Structure 1
């Protein structure tokens, strides 16, 4: 989930033990990208969830497309999907190329815009899926309203979804960023290498420098991550450049932001620099071009990088639910 290791000493915070929850059934289907690469698409149908839980089937309030972080995979987001299903949302996610069940060399990009173009194809497919899910029209409104589409991205995924919105690649109705990689906290040597290596050896891979013990205060989360065969620690110079350039570019675009956005980040994050999220929030709040309430930001002090996997994640989910309830 991390991008680069941002070494910052944080005070130790003691949280209560986390509790297990029912995990929804996951459907994984192949998705062929424009270049023929196979991407793994994860689906958590709301109807299936209702049947599993013995609940009344209702039309979804909106659909949420989740984008995971560096080195991990979408399967780790089943707990987030469970909450969204409970709240009445249809949920999808996918393994980014070079990750999880998807094809491609681990941590490698074929070109600078590959992750953004993959997301565009997923959004297009999701829009088609939404047409099949939307409730039927009525006598007064024969044409049914399209379901809102919300993007939710964590870490690298948070950067991908925010760049996607900043570049206006497709219209979306809402954006949620979780510990986005808006400032990877590069040192001088890393900056020098990223200024040179993408031109000389764009596919050269090194370790991403992630410290698994900085993911969460919950030791079970850390141990599962370490044992997960679909997790890797690779990052290519081209992917590193995408992160290093894309983060500041997204912060620069915050002063012109128009998409309803919830930005949540960890105050004790040692894997990406939380200063990037603070800068984005401050730029949006201080700009006369950004309507009040467009960007809602929340820093969870003392939390590590994976805020949805922290042992006190209830307040994160409460923040997300309140924001969704107010808009969808």
Structure 2
């Protein structure tokens, strides 16, 4: 892995990482999730390297090596800046490997970013892969969190974390997985991420993991999520863009399977006809860290080989 940085168009220094290789089949750009960082994707990147792909990732604003303020605060207009960072970094990757297809792979919050990314910069990538996406929420799921986030941002300040919002977003996530049958004698509180306790413990022990965005950053995220599923934004997504959406059947983030099915249905209704979807039965949120992670990577590589072949 090569550590690097790049300077965004607003002057912000963004931490970036590369698992490069000579003459790759294609380029995979990873957008990580909330409360984590890009280095956690090293095992996935190495597997994709072995399959012929150059892999790169950045730490989003407020995360990992890019954070210049308390973790979780993406800064003023940070969500839109993260979208621009992703686009600008992708341009650099295409300069590095001209004529090679570029695939954006987003996980969780990174998938939310990617879902809005394709409404602004969809023509800049050749394919999109989504892991652990929350999908598209119904009206209640869109409006209520946004209102609460605005109130909390006004009450506490945009750069402060909110226990109320943390509880609203993740308070019930671990409950289905607690108890001796799932966790043994004690729970680490993040069993909802994976059935593999070793991987869960790595997350819990990582000082750069486990936080929630601050109130102001959540306001921006919810606004971006609402925009991504609006009809005018969906209408401008390139219709020929290949999409691969994969998730664990027991992932609490997508609230049953309906949220993802709503998203894919709206895209298909708009004329996007190159969409594939896969559920991993029994798997939880972080499918790349699941007990069947080798299967997940094999399936991803098979799809990548198909969409980059043409």
Q: Same fold (TM over 0.5)?
A: yes
Pick the aligned partner of 1:118 from 50, 67, 85. Answer: 85
5+ long unaligned stretches in structure 1? 1-25, 48-58, 132-145
Query: Aligned-pair distance for 1:233?
Result: 0.7
Query: Aligned-pair distance for 1:189?
Result: 6.3
The question of whether the paired residues in 2 share the 8 Å contact of 1:251 and 1:276 is answered with no
For 2:219 and 2:247, the matched residues in 1 are separated by 22
1:290 and 2:271 matched: yes
Q: Which string of whole-angstrom CA distances, capped at 9 and with x for unpartnered residues, describes residues 66-91 of structure 1? A: 01000100010011101211110111
- Change in CA separation of 1:123 and 1:198 when aligned onto 2, cut-off 3 Å: farther
Q: Which string of whole-angstrom CA distances, capped at 9 and with x for unpartnered residues, describes residues 95-117 of structure 1? A: 11111111332111221412111
For 1:46 and 1:169, the matched residues in 2 are separated by 25
Pick the aligned partner of 2:287 from 259, 284, 307. Answer: 307
Q: Which string of whole-angstrom CA distances, capped at 9 and with x for unpartnered residues, describes residues 171-211 of structure 1? A: 21010010123357959864431243446633232354554
For 1:261 and 1:102, the matched residues in 2 are separated by 28
Aligned equivalent of 1:64? 28
Aligned equivalent of 2:175? none
Partner SS for 1:42 = strand
TM-score (norm: length of structure 2):
0.80
The number of equivalent residue pairs is: 275
Q: Which protein shows a greater Rg?
A: 1
For 2:136 and 2:81, the matched residues in 1 are separated by 20
- Pairing of 1:143-292 with structure 2 (within 5 A): 146-168=99-121, 171-183=124-136, 190-198=145-153, 201-207=157-163, 208-209=166-167, 210=170, 211-252=189-230, 253=233, 257=237, 258=239, 259-273=241-255, 274-285=257-268, 287=269, 289-292=270-273
For 1:190 and 1:227, the matched residues in 2 are separated by 29
